Chain A
Amino acid sequence: MFLKLRRYKFLLVELVKRDFKHKYKGTVLGVGWSLLSPLLTLLVMKLVFTQFFGRNAPHYTTYLFVGILVFGFFSESSKGGMTALVGNSGIFTKVNVPKYIFLLSKNAQTVVNFALTLLVFFVFCLIDDINFTWRFILMIYPIVTLTLFNIGLGLILSALYMFFRDMQHIWSVATRLIMYGSAIFYMTDRFSPDMMVVFRCNPVYDHIAFIRKIVLTNTTPEPWEFALLAGFAAVMLLIGGLLYKRYNTEFLYYV
């Protein structure tokens, strides 16, 4: 499947450009919103949780920002991935192109978007007196595994959405559940070990925890944490890939 990608590079680039254009259609700030919207979310959350709930852990801003950015990346990719096939059905019912290309282009767009927000994040790290060390390079690892995870999940969600349009509403509720279960604005140190196992079952939480470890405590995550992230990505890609292989010729009948 990925061997063919070279042939479709031009198409992929054009689709990514189109997806960006759609995202900022009619806005004055355009791509500036990629930077501004996580910043505003940060501002709101910071205000709510420090002023109303009295949270004041050290580096709470950075703690919060990691959660917001990673969750935002996940939520945008999964939602965009879900609608990637239905949204492009006008194309793949007329032209013979591999349908997964639309999912890849959507994910490529969200990765670029996430990379932009990371720039803002690094500026905030500076302001928040975070030590920049060589370990920051390790952040590439969770970004890669989360991207692969998102693609696998997108393969599953887009196929389901093709057959049951109800998925859209189910997924928005599920996303909210994942958000509250990802320890974006609260600390997990007061939970029991049993409860922590539940947290660890949430891949979004694991990715957030991985990055926080690097940025906030300046330690290298344990080998099992590396394995966990890769495991989630592999399982999702496998399930998504099998589902896609089995059903992709039938999508056409349900547009």
Chain B
Amino acid sequence: MSKPVRPAVEVYDVSIRYKRGDLKQIGLKEYIIRKLTGKLRVDDFWADRHISFTLMPGDLLGIIGMNGAGKSTLLKALARIMEPTEGTIYTHGRISALLELSSGFDKDLTVKENAYLRGALLGYTRDYMNEVYPDILAFSGLEDFEDYPFRQLSSGMKSRLAFSIASRIDPDILILDEVLSVGDGWFKKKSEKKMREIIGSGATTILVSHSLGQIRSLCNKVLWLNKGKQVEFGDDVAGICDRYEASYKGSSEGQRKA
């Protein structure tokens, strides 16, 4: 008798709200001025509204939608960086979230110092970092820049290092924001291969990508968001992608006519 498989990720009716223009955001002085002049307006902005889906272990979910659809906010909630305003998220297993990889480095630290700091942030131990650091450096191709301060590096170099450190994770649930591959030429190929290895190792993966081709070829489930609302979710990857493509082609043609 096999045990019933437990879902890896369960999202129930999740909504996330940003407040705009309240006391804490605009500061005390501005608050009083607006209050006196009657211009105080606090509006709610729902980045995500009533999102629900379930993923089984090993599932590969692609999230699609235009800019501002609420994709990144949803990823932050799944990564536990943010708390949903309403609804609940259950996750089972270790989560690794790779969001905006090359931001958050310190420009005054050297490549080596930044690598260790980033490793520590991703939850690696010092022993593990000592062990894999030479490989990380080699993978990123930055051997000659080990002691350079970060501000002297090109942005391509930074993202190469970021990817090389991050690709050492071994999560049960992997959350990716446009980091399937980075850099150009030789590194793009290498990083994409590495990412496919990690995904292929059985981690439940949630992926935001603007490349529909990638989503079609990798994912077995798709979530389509539009202005914070859930348009479709399901395993009909080709169908959902087709309808999504049709929707924005229609609107851009509409704009051209107008």
List chain A positions with a Cβ less than 8 A from chain B.
Answer: 10-11, 13-15, 17-18, 21-22, 25, 90-97, 163-166, 249-250, 252-254
Contacts and interface: CB of A to CB of B under 8 A. Distances in A.
Contact of A166 (B27, B100, B104, B125): B27
B82 interface: yes
Contacts, number: 69
Contacts of A95: 81, 97, 99, 104, 121-122
24 contacts: A11-B117, A11-B120, A14-B113, A14-B116, A15-B117, A17-B113, A18-B109, A18-B117, A21-B108, A25-B108, A90-B103, A90-B104, A91-B121, A93-B81, A94-B81, A95-B97, A95-B99, A95-B104, A95-B121, A96-B95, A163-B24, A166-B29, A252-B81, A254-B24
Interface string B112-146: 01001100111011100100000000000000000
Contacts of B19: 253
Contacts of A18: 106, 109, 113, 117
A31 to B, nearest CB: 15
B234 to A, nearest CB: 28
The 6 closest A-B pairs by CB, nearest first: A11-B120, A163-B24, A14-B120, A14-B117, A10-B126, A10-B120
A11 B24 CA distance: 30
Contacts of A97: 121
A11 B119 CA distance: 8
A15 to B, nearest CB: 7
Given A18-B113, A25-B108, 19 more contacts: A10-B120, A11-B117, A11-B120, A13-B120, A18-B109, A18-B117, A21-B109, A91-B104, A93-B76, A94-B103, A94-B104, A95-B122, A164-B28, A166-B28, A166-B29, A249-B82, A252-B76, A253-B18, A254-B24
B81 A164 contact: no
A253 B29 CA distance: 19
Interface residues of B, number: 32
A165 B109 contact: no
B80 interface: yes
A92 B106 CA distance: 14
A241 to B, nearest CB: 19
Q: Which among A14, A97, A166, A254 has the greatest number of chain B C-beta atoms within 10 A?
A: A14
A121 B117 CA distance: 33
B251 interface: no
Contacts of A14: 113, 116-117, 120
B254 to A, nearest CB: 35
Nearest to A88: B104
Interface in B69-93: 76, 79-83
Interface string B15-29: 000110000110111
A213 B126 CA distance: 43
A11 B116 CA distance: 9
A253 B76 CA distance: 12
A166 B24 CA distance: 12
Contacts of A164: 24, 27-28
A94 B124 CA distance: 16
Interface string B199-222: 000000000000000000000000
Nearest to B120: A11
B120 to A, nearest CB: 4
A72 B83 CA distance: 38
A249 B81 CA distance: 8
A10 B76 CA distance: 24
Contacts of A252: 76, 81-82
A93 B79 CA distance: 10
